Amino acid sequence: MSQMESLRNAQWYNPEKENYFIVHGWLNAYQSEVVTLIVSAVLQTNDFNVFVLDWSSIAMGLYSTSFLSVESIGLHLATFINEMIEEFQLNTRMFMLVGYSLGAHIAGCAGAGVNGLVRYIVGLDPAGPLFTLNNINNRLDVSDADFVQVIHTTAFFGFSSSIGHADYYPNDGTFPQPGCGLDAICAHARSYEFYAESVTTYGFTSLNCSSYRTYLEGQCGSQHVSYLGRIDIDSSAHGDYYLETNPRSPYSLT
């Protein structure tokens, strides 16, 4: 039985509902916190078909091996989505992708394989090591979806440069993050913790600003106000957005 036949026969799948894909990161699997938190948040508040791409057989190996597999895994996911579109006669805007760390770049490659026509991709602290600004073929970029939002929480594990239509920098988007001390893994994880909270609480007011320092000096009050994350993503946002958070959950100050 093909994947599409299995999907057609699946009791949980409804082709009339929107499709939400979650892609975990390096050293994660389908039961990792990044997945369980986001799945829980999404299903609490929305009636979607939720898919999880489990690429743990590769992700549990060396980072360099996982890095080299990003494009092929992304294209594998794109093939699945394209088959869904053809099988069920779906509009590409019925697809939303969220990826964490290396998974953000896999989501980007998948979006590219659907000709950049999915509704949106959210990159949760997209992985930085070994990726470059010049090469967009193996990473998330604005051509991968109708709208690309990026949430930065480390400049250590994460990609520090702005690579989305709108990039959000909680607490300057750098390591350390409040409440994490010197734990860079904790700071990296804040990206999906903030995102999951945004789905259920609609918090995290952010201001368009030229820098975090300018934001802290209160010079951005007249700039565009946006909201990090959420399912109903702010596609009117453009540029860099800054905000502060609490050191522990609930993280949003607003």
In whole angstroms, what is the distance from residue 108 CA to residue 97 CA?
9
End-to-end CA gap in the chain: 49
Closest alpha carbon to 209 in 171, 164, 239, 166: 239
DSSP state letters, the chain:
--HHHHHHH-TT--TTS-EEEEE--TT--TTSHHHHHHHHHHHHH---EEEEE--HHHHTS-HHHHHHHHHHHHHHHHHHHHHHHHHHT--GGGEEEEEETHHHHHHHHHHHHTTT-SSEEEEES-B-TT--SS--TTS--GGGSSEEEEE---SSSB--S--SSEEEEEGGG-SSPTT-TT-HHHHHHHHHHHHHHHHHH---EEEE-S-HHHHHTTTTTTSPEEESS-SS--TT--EEEEE-B-SSSS-B--
Query: Is 24 labeled as catalytic in the residue annotation?
Result: no
For the cut 70, the answer to whether the pLDDT of residue 1 exceeds it is no
In whole angstroms, what is the distance from residue 140 CA to residue 38 CA?
20
In whole angstroms, what is the distance from residue 148 CA to residue 238 CA?
10
pTM score of the predicted model: 0.97
For the cut 80, the answer to whether the pLDDT of residue 146 exceeds it is yes
In whole angstroms, what is the distance from residue 56 CA to residue 46 CA?
27
Which one of the listed residues 66, 125, 172, 234 is annotated catalytic?
Answer: 125
For the cut 90, the answer to whether the pLDDT of residue 223 exceeds it is no
Query: Is 125 labeled as catalytic in the residue annotation?
Result: yes
Closest alpha carbon to 243 in 189, 178, 179: 178
Tell me, what's the pLDDT at 254? 82
Query: Is 165 labeled as catalytic in the residue annotation?
Result: no
Q: Identify whether 250 is preceded by a cis peptide bond (ω within 30 of 0).
A: yes
Task: Name the band, by pLDDT with cuts 50, 70 and 90, for residue 221.
Answer: confident
**Cβ-contact 143, 165 below 8 angstroms:** no
- Residues 157-216 pLDDT 10s: 999 999 999 999 999 999 999 999 999 999 999 999 999 999 999 999 999 999 999 999
For the cut 90, the answer to whether the pLDDT of residue 222 exceeds it is no
Q: Sign of torsion, CA 68 136 155 191?
A: negative
Which one of the listed residues 101, 206, 226, 252 is annotated catalytic?
Answer: 101
Task: For 182, list phi and psi in degrees, rounded to 5.
Answer: -95, 20
Q: What's the angle, vertex CA 166, arms to CA 117 and CA 220, rounded to 5?
A: 155
Which one of the listed residues 69, 165, 188, 226 is annotated catalytic?
Answer: 188
Tell me, what's the pLDDT at 2? 87
- Residues 101-134 pLDDT 10s: 999 999 999 999 999 999 999 999 999 999 999 9
Q: Identify whether 129 is preceded by a cis peptide bond (ω within 30 of 0).
A: no
138-148 average pLDDT score? 98
Of the chain, the percentage scoring pLDDT greater than 70 comes to 100
- Residues 183-193 pLDDT 10s: 999 999 999 99
67-90 average pLDDT score? 98
